């Protein structure tokens, strides 16, 4: 039964992704042009926001009583982005598409980060209050901006199944493979361990998830990038050779493992999208939780998260594999390839480092993915019974992912990811003008030397906005 299901899913993905790739590129390029490549031109402003050097306004102080901090929201979305896909997914992409897949990962990150800016800015504009916090995302702006609650419900169901269930199975699957290869742990034991840790975290609500993410994400990302930089320094004289191989393979000048330039493009974009989630509609759920004075602030920060994920973490894995000289067409696949590649560079202890890193990467993704589902179930229904059933489902899917066949799990993740991205990209294509207008307002205030503040009446005709009304003292 599993073999037949895998065959159907693989056939669907093959044809589906051709259309999705076209939409991704068109929408990403359109937003890049309309925002004057804000993902690159505003990089200095983005660093100012991430490091917290913006001046706090009275509005900030008032909003700071609710929601999570801008950095915590960034960490929460990065926790979901930076997961096992950065270690196992990159290895799979190189195995199937050759070194050229890395180049197309970079391309989709640069183009897609403009879409990430738009979707996260929209999520901030249309966020809603949730007790002492905020929540929002694509389902919310589909309902409020398009008056299409039915579409929001469809998206909410897709993201709940995608992240809460399927993607969490991917994370558990990779951890299970890594620890089974390293320590001989049984898949069930690893799955049960992860399930218990997830339960202890998710019952603390969004604030606990945000705090845990804010601690784990910097440690795991900086530690892994640091190891990669050490490997690069060891192979400093081979850097031109590796870059040359990536470029030649990307454009078909060097035959790829699975069929030339097409394999490089397809696998690079698939694994890049799975990893950085640009335009997919996932990160906006985290972006909406932040308490900021202007929606564009979180839009810029979230677009930078795409760079962190792909240009830094994914590239680290790629260089480790390519410098190692280990065959990417052999029996090693996924996380085992990354483990053996790093061990070839720095010794056997690398297996333990990767095992620890993959555990942190997976756990942070599990809790980030869980929150995306929670936020969208709250959009559909207020029933505590459904929320409890969702939590049980998450735990069961972690156990399932630990023992499932790896190819089936990844193919299902690709399918659900593609459906989500298709719906969200069409919607932000329609609503993009609102985010562009917010960016113009933000840029105008910055040029005037102000710390930007946003109000619903800033954009003419903006309706159904809950969290950006002027207070009487600000009229």
Give the domain ranges of the chain.
2-474
Q: Does domain 2-474 have CATH number 1.20.1740.10?
A: yes
- Secondary structure letter of residue 139 according to DSSP: H
Query: Looking at residue 364, what is its pLDDT?
Result: 76
Query: Looking at residue 246, what is its pLDDT?
Result: 82
Query: Looking at residue 32, what is its pLDDT?
Result: 93
Say how far residue 189 (Cα) sits from the centre of its chain.
27
Reported as type and span, the H/E element at residue 129 is: strand 128-130
Instruction: Give tens-digit pLDDT for 97-153.
Output: 777 788 888 888 888 889 999 999 999 999 988 777 788 899 999 999 999 999 999
* Number of neighbouring beta carbons within 10 Å of residue 336: 20
Averaged pLDDT score across all residues of the chain: 78
Query: Looking at residue 58, what is its pLDDT?
Result: 45
**Distance between CA atoms of 167 and 65, rounded to whole angstroms?**
33
Please report, for residues 218, 235, 475, the alpha-carbon distance to residue 224 in angstroms, rounded to integers and kept in the order given. 10, 17, 49
Contact 124, 351 (CB under 8 A): no
Query: Looking at residue 163, what is its pLDDT?
Result: 82
Query: Looking at residue 304, what is its pLDDT?
Result: 86
Query: Looking at residue 243, what is its pLDDT?
Result: 83
The dihedral built from the CA positions of residue 249, 250, 253 and 258, taken in this order, carries a sign that is positive
Only one residue has tokens 């997914």, namely 89
**Distance between CA atoms of 124 and 159, rounded to whole angstroms?**
18
The dihedral built from the CA positions of residue 377, 380, 385 and 389, taken in this order, carries a sign that is negative
Of 461, 406, 332, whose CA–CA distance to 171 is shortest? Answer: 406
**Distance between CA atoms of 436 and 32, rounded to whole angstroms?**
11
Q: Report DSSP letters for 326-365, one per residue.
A: --SSSS--THHHHHHHHHHHH-THHHHHHHHHHHHHHHHH
What torsion, rounded to 10 degrees, do the Cα atoms 323, 329, 334, 337 define?
-40
**Who's near 193: CB < 8 A, 6+ residues apart?**
none
Burial 12-50 (b: 16+ CB within 10 A, else e): ebeeebeebbeebeebbebbbebbeebbeebeebbeebb
Q: How many helices (H) and strands (E) does the chain have?
A: 21, 2
Strand, coil or helix: 195: helix
In this structure, what token pair is assigned to residue 406? 């790896």
Report the chain (475 residues): mean pLDDT per 10 consecutive residues: 59 67 86 91 86 53 55 66 66 75 84 91 91 86 93 91 82 75 73 78 62 67 78 83 81 55 61 68 86 91 83 80 70 67 73 75 78 87 86 84 67 74 92 94 91 89 84 57
Query: Looking at residue 436, what is its pLDDT?
Result: 95
């Amino acid at each position: 039964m599993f073999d037949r299901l895998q065959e159907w899913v693989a056939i669907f993905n093959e044809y589906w992704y051709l259309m999705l790739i076209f939409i991704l590129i068109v929408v990403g390029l359109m937003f890049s042009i309309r925002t004057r490549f804000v993902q690159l031109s505003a990089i200095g402003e983005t660093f100012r926001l991430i490091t917290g050097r913006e001046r706090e306004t009275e509005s900030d102080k008032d909003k700071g009583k609710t929601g999570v901090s801008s950095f915590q929201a960034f960490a929460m979305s990065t926790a979901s982005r930076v997961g096992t896909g950065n270690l196992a997914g990159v290895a799979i992409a190189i195995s199937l598409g050759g070194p050229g897949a890395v180049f197309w990962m970079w391309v989709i990150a640069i183009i897609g980060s403009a879409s990430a800016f738009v979707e996260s800015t929209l999520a901030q504009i249309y966020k809603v209050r949730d007790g002492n916090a905020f929540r929002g995302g694509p389902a919310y702006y589909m309902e409020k901006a398009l008056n299409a609650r039915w579409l929001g419900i469809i998206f909410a169901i897709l993201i709940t199944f995608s992240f809460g269930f399927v993607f969490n199975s991917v994370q558990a699957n990779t951890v299970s493979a890594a620890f089974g290869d390293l320590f001989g742990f049984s898949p069930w034991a690893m799955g049960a361990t992860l399930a218990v840790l997830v339960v202890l975290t998710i019952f603390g609500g969004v604030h606990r998830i945000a705090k845990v993410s804010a601690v784990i994400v910097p440690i795991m990302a900086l530690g892994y990038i640091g190891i990669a930089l050490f490997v690069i320094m060891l192979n400093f004289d081979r850097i031109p050779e590796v870059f040359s191989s990536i470029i030649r393979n990307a454009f078909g000048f060097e035959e790829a493992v699975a069929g030339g330039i097409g394999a490089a493009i397809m696998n690079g974009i698939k694994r890049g999208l799975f990893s950085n989630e640009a335009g997919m509609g996932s990160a906006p759920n985290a972006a909406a939780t932040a308490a900021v004075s202007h929606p564009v602030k979180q839009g810029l920060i979230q677009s930078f998260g795409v760079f962190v994920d792909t240009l830094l973490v994914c590239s680290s894995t790629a260089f480790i594999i390519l410098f190692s000289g280990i065959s990417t067409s052999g029996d090693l696949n996924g996380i085992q390839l990354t483990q053996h590649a790093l061990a070839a560079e720095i010794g056997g202890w690398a297996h333990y480092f990767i095992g620890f890193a993959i555990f942190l990467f997976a756990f942070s993704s599990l809790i980030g993915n869980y929150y995306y589902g929670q936020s969208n179930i709250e959009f559909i229904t207020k029933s505590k019974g459904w929320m409890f059933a969702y939590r049980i489902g998450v735990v069961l899917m972690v156990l399932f992912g630990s023992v499932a066949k790896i190819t089936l799990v990844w193919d299902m993740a690709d399918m659900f990811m593609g459906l989500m991205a298709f719906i969200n990209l069409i919607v932000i294509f329609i609503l993009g003008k609102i985010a562009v207008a917010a960016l113009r307002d933000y840029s105008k205030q910055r040029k005037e030397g102000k710390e930007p503040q946003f109000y619903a009446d800033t954009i003419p005709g903006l309706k159904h906005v809950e969290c950006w009304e002027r207070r009487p003292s600000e009229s």
